[in-house]
Amino acid sequence: MTDSTTQVAANGRLAALIELGTSVWLDELGRELLERGELERLIAEDGLRGVTSNPAIFERAILAGSSYDQQIAELAASGLDAEAILEELVISDVRAACDRLRPVYEALGGADGFVSLEVSPHLARDTEGTLRQARDFWRRVARPNLMIKIPGTEEGLAAIEQATYEGINVNVTLLFSVAAYERVAEAYIRGMERRLREGLSLDVRSVASFFVSRVDTEVDRRLAASGREDLRGRAAVANARAAYRSFLRIFRGERFAALRAAGCPVQRPLWASTGVKDPAYPETFYVAALAGPDTVSTMPLKTLRACERELEVSGPTVEIDPSPDLTALAEAGIDLEEVAALLLEEGIDKFVRPFEQTLAGVARKAARALARDRAAAVALDRRARVAAADWLERGRSERLVERLLERDASAVGDPSWPELADRLGWVDAPARSLAELPRLRELAARLTAPGIDDVVLLGMGGSSLGAAALVTLGARDAASQQRRFHVLDSTHPRAVAALAATIEPQRTLLICASKSGTTLETISHLRFFAERIGDPGRIVAITDPGTPLAEQARRDGFAAIVAGDPEVGGRYSVLTVFGLVPALLAGVDPEPELKSAESVREALLADPTAALALGAAVGALAADRRYRLLLPIDEPTRVFTMWLEQLLAESSGKQGRGILPVPVVAADGRELAPRDAVRCLHAASEGARFPSAPEGTYDSPLPTVAVAGQGLGGAFFLWETATAVACRVLEVNPFDQPNVQEAKEATKSALAQGSRAPSEESEAALRLLRSTRPPSYVAFQAFLPPSPQLDRAGDELCAAVMRATGCAATFGYGPRYLHSTGQLHKGGPPEGVFVQLLDDDPYDLAIPGADYGFRALIEAQAAGDRAALEARGRPVVSLRLTGDPAAALAALAREITV
């Protein structure tokens, strides 16, 4: 034993503190701290005798920087899920810290030198779960100077007693009230008494972590509100001193006499949360006020450094009588027990949040690391892995993915189902499209040769969403930077007019994309813009062979007719001419995306795990009623999410089952994650174009899937495959859309009768929304002109609803959603609550050759979908907005919040 560990401290200020009986611990841990040698320095210079950690501490350590990335990569490669990886990271650090403090521990005969590791904050109310994890951590860390942190909740008490009895050192955390502290001391004593009775060693150590600064934060806030600021900064210290009085009474008194006589150590009070939160207080405020025998003060590095510089203690401050302060506070109306109850609830939450954040971050890092050499990869957390386990095994033994990619329809359903065996063309689309690319490039060059400034794509659902994603996220070639790309999938007269006003008809190329060649919106748009453009030589049709559109194109002499593959359905068509031709015309060469898709296909044939795990997890969770899949969005990846939304919802949402994609703005996710959701994270590996969104921040313990890869095309292909797998799990046909027709029929009859959706007041919508509770979900259907402002207003409205109701909320434009989530609204889980957002704008545009205009069309579409939903007994309110729609949505969001 060297002097540095037995001596008090080289630093005189800390030496004085230690001399008074306060042991100095560090409330911080992490790889950098360990690797920098900082811990050794603190042991040597400051007399450090312990370390505490918590989920927030590990969040800061693991997510900042890259010091854990190598270990995450290795653990992910060995097949561990994100939660298991996180446990390993934390255990490695705790073990290393235990080893650094081991000499202190030995020198002090096991009385000090501990490192604390907290059980999962999700277990704070679960006695059995806490005990299981305490034993598991104790066994895996395998160091005598480990302490397991267990929350001092009602449920924690039995676990504390039992763990103590089993010889596990316990650090009781989250103590805010004197009464709770006393119960915890009792639990420790009972555990030790059982050991004494059974003749077991009494060399089991425990501390009771009493939180300090958080009490002042809450009480000072209340005092400010009641004008009693004269009492600021007194509550936390008085409360802790009162707990110390209880300590003295219990451990120096009769209650502990027998154990004391048998040589049992006391359970020391540990002052936690010693870092000041109010900058008006000196950094050393709490440490200085709570010095005294048999105590521990655990300090963040910042507080410890401040103590090195300026701590002044000359006597045992912890023994000062707190009664005058407590009386004054009580007279000022401060109920410390009530404050403590609130802080306990908040405290559990304050650890759940960083725990969830860390887990999500680890999942992303794991997926990214795996994708470095695997084209695409998926990482699951434990809950997602447990859900997926059966199908992972079954999928492997059945060769589900391999058979699917070999075009064996029986891999995903009954081959006799209509639209199954004849819709598998997408599985080898990347290779076929690569072969076709030179011809398509030539075509694009010819079509744009006349000098084209604007390329307009008319198409609904799968006939435009994939192309939009390719154009927005693919690599643009410099020469065509000047060519602007527009997608029209709205029938709102203002949206049609706005596009018409933007383009110069003589320098515009029109693409009309429709597999069926009959889609009402697309055909109406074509009629309108064909007339504007005037020259069929600047119109391209992309459609399957023999459709009415192909016929018209031939008849009218369009510049080109590009034939789609009838064996590929609309939402699976992005890597066919439906994605490629608009991309080429807009100046994006899709070759890298086709190659990355092909490499994902190859990789899946060699090892199907990524698609199998993703499909099995989201499918099995949805089958178990966890069907809301949170997809964090930001710009510009929102457009990829729109593509994915159609793929998932229209493929899976039928027969009362399905997956509801819930795009959420990452920064908002924190408060709004519905508890019955699954979170999905996307992460690009370095330098890749794989869609990547900032991580969502979520409160709730959500099963997590993280997806990473090399390129956008790979992301398309991976999700297409995984969606088919998920549909197999849900036992639905991934390739049909049986309920879309219902709204189409109802639209037709609304058009014939000239009917429109009713005009209901916002009160009706608010009533409906306020009465909505999980497991419902809310879908806003906005028959309004799309715009970035409205996108954001929609995001905020959904956030407000999720916050107010706890239900998932989505926002989609009509008629776009009719070709996407509309299938799931009608055919999926019967739990949707629908709010149609309409305006009362008299503005209209005629549709050439039709006896109705765009206004009548969009009104009929809203009325038609409303009728289809009502026929299924779903609640719908059709709300007419006046004035600026974004402002109206913001007002609605505010009203929901109050």
Ligand X SMILES: O=C[C@H](O)[C@H](O)COP(=O)(O)O
571 binds ligand F6P (CB under 6 A): yes
Task: Give the CB-nearest residue to ligand X.
Answer: 273
Kindly indicate which of the ranges 162-170, 192-200, 512-520, 885-893 contains the residues binding ligand F6P, using the contact rule CB under 6 A: 512-520
22 binds ligand X (CB under 6 A): no
- Residue number, 217 or 516, with CB nearest to ligand F6P: 516
Six token digits for residue 408 = 């064996």
CB 797 within 8 A of CB 889: yes
3-state helix, strand, coil in the chain (%, to 5): 55, 15, 30
Shortest Å distance, C-beta 350 to ligand X: 7
By CB under 6 A, name the one of 5, 54, 448, 463 that touches ligand F6P.
463
Side-chain-facing half-sphere of 108: CA atoms under 13 Å: 22
SS3 for 683?
strand
3-state secondary structure string across 422-468: HHCHHHHHHHHHHHHHHHHHHHHHHHHCCCCCEEEEECCHHHCHHHH
SS3 for 523?
helix
214 binds ligand X (CB under 6 A): yes
- Residue number, 22 or 519, with CB nearest to ligand F6P: 519
CB 353 within 8 A of CB 59: no
Residues 534-563 that bind ligand F6P (CB under 6 A): none
- Residue number, 522 or 704, with CB nearest to ligand F6P: 522
347 binds ligand F6P (CB under 6 A): no
CB 427 within 8 A of CB 725: no
Q: At what angle do helices 638-652 and 465-473 cross, to 10 degrees?
A: 150
CB 194 within 8 A of CB 167: no
**CA 62, CA 60: separation in Å to the nearest integer?**
6
Beta strands in 35-93 (DSSP E): 50-51
Kindly indicate which of the ranges 70-78, 213-221, 455-463, 769-777 contains the residues binding ligand F6P, using the contact rule CB under 6 A: 455-463
Q: Is 302 a catalytic residue?
A: no
- Helix (H) or strand (E) segment spanning residue 799: helix 788-805
360 binds, among ligand X, ligand F6P, none (CB under 5 to 8 A by kind): none
570 binds, among ligand X, ligand F6P, none (CB under 5 to 8 A by kind): ligand F6P
Shortest Å distance, C-beta 150 to ligand X: 12
**DSSP bridge partners of 791:** none
My answer on whether omega of the bond before 775 falls inside 30° of 0, hence cis, is yes
CA separation (Å) from 313 to 5, 25, 209, 473? Answer: 22, 17, 22, 62
Residues 721-740 that bind ligand F6P (CB under 6 A): 737, 740
- Residue number, 273 or 733, with CB nearest to ligand X: 273
By CB under 6 A, name the one of 11, 17, 27, 181 that touches ligand X.
27
462 binds, among ligand X, ligand F6P, none (CB under 5 to 8 A by kind): ligand F6P
**CA 285, CA 276: separation in Å to the nearest integer?**
7
589 binds ligand X (CB under 6 A): no
By CB under 6 A, name the one of 460, 594, 614, 845 that touches ligand F6P.
460
- Residue number, 124 or 751, with CB nearest to ligand X: 124
- Residue number, 195 or 571, with CB nearest to ligand F6P: 571
153 binds ligand X (CB under 6 A): no
515 binds ligand F6P (CB under 6 A): yes
**DSSP bridge partners of 509:** 455
My answer on whether omega of the bond before 875 falls inside 30° of 0, hence cis, is no
Shortest Å distance, C-beta 301 to ligand X: 12
755 binds ligand F6P (CB under 6 A): no
**CA 671, CA 689: separation in Å to the nearest integer?**
30
By CB under 6 A, name the one of 11, 22, 23, 54 that touches ligand X.
54
In the block, tokens 């401040």 appear at: 306
Torsion of CA 731, 734, 736, 738, to 10 degrees: 40
- Residue number, 173 or 490, with CB nearest to ligand X: 173
Kindly indicate which of the ranges 270-278, 467-475, 540-548, 838-846 contains the residues binding ligand X, using the contact rule CB under 6 A: 270-278
**DSSP bridge partners of 779:** 810, 834
By CB under 6 A, name the one of 5, 11, 23, 52 that touches ligand X.
52
- Residue number, 361 or 413, with CB nearest to ligand F6P: 413
Residues 427-446 that bind ligand F6P (CB under 6 A): none
Return the closest-CA partner of residue 25 out of 105, 79, 86.
105
**DSSP bridge partners of 540:** 511, 560
**CA 122, CA 140: separation in Å to the nearest integer?**
20
Kindly indicate which of the ranges 56-64, 264-272, 454-462, 504-512 contains the residues binding ligand F6P, using the contact rule CB under 6 A: 454-462
- Helix (H) or strand (E) segment spanning residue 837: strand 832-839
Kindly indicate which of the ranges 154-162, 269-277, 301-309, 496-504 contains the residues binding ligand X, using the contact rule CB under 6 A: 269-277
Kindly indicate which of the ranges 50-58, 516-524, 593-601, 623-631 contains the residues binding ligand F6P, using the contact rule CB under 6 A: 516-524
Shortest Å distance, C-beta 166 to ligand F6P: 60
DSSP single-letter state for residue 564: P
CB 889 within 8 A of CB 847: no
Side-chain-facing half-sphere of 483: CA atoms under 13 Å: 30
272 binds, among ligand X, ligand F6P, none (CB under 5 to 8 A by kind): ligand X
By CB under 6 A, name the one of 298, 358, 491, 721 that touches ligand X.
298
Return the closest-CA partner of residue 570 out of 578, 562, 581.
578
By CB under 6 A, name the one of 191, 269, 275, 619 that touches ligand X.
275
Residues 819-838 that bind ligand F6P (CB under 6 A): 819
By CB under 6 A, name the one of 217, 246, 317, 516 that touches ligand F6P.
516
Kindly indicate which of the ranges 29-37, 138-146, 171-179, 508-516 contains the residues binding ligand F6P, using the contact rule CB under 6 A: 508-516
457 binds ligand F6P (CB under 6 A): no
275 binds, among ligand X, ligand F6P, none (CB under 5 to 8 A by kind): ligand X
Kindly indicate which of the ranges 175-183, 208-216, 689-697, 761-769 contains the residues binding ligand X, using the contact rule CB under 6 A: 208-216
Six token digits for residue 832 = 């949707």
Shortest Å distance, C-beta 100 to ligand X: 18
C-beta neighbour count of 85 within 10 angstroms: 26
772 binds ligand F6P (CB under 6 A): no
Nearest-5° angle of CA 627, CA 628, CA 633? Answer: 145
By CB under 6 A, name the one of 46, 218, 325, 650 that touches ligand F6P.
650
3-state secondary structure string across 736-747: CCCCHHHHHHHH
209 binds ligand X (CB under 6 A): yes
461 binds, among ligand F6P, ligand X, none (CB under 5 to 8 A by kind): ligand F6P
213 binds ligand X (CB under 6 A): yes
Return the closest-CA partner of residue 802 out of 779, 826, 824.
779
Catalytic residue selected from 149, 515, 654, 826 = 149
Residue type, 287: V
Side-chain-facing half-sphere of 309: CA atoms under 13 Å: 9
In the block, tokens 């959603």 appear at: 817
**DSSP bridge partners of 632:** 664
Beta strands in 532-583 (DSSP E): 539-543, 560-563
571 binds, among ligand X, ligand F6P, none (CB under 5 to 8 A by kind): ligand F6P
807 binds, among ligand F6P, ligand X, none (CB under 5 to 8 A by kind): none
Residues 657-716 that bind ligand X (CB under 6 A): none
Catalytic center residues: 149
- Residues at the site binding ligand X, with contacts judged by CB under 6 A: 27, 52, 54, 173, 209, 211, 213-214, 272-273, 275, 298
Instruction: Give the binding site for ligand F6P (CB under 6 A).
Output: 460-463, 514-516, 519, 522, 570-571, 650, 737, 740, 819
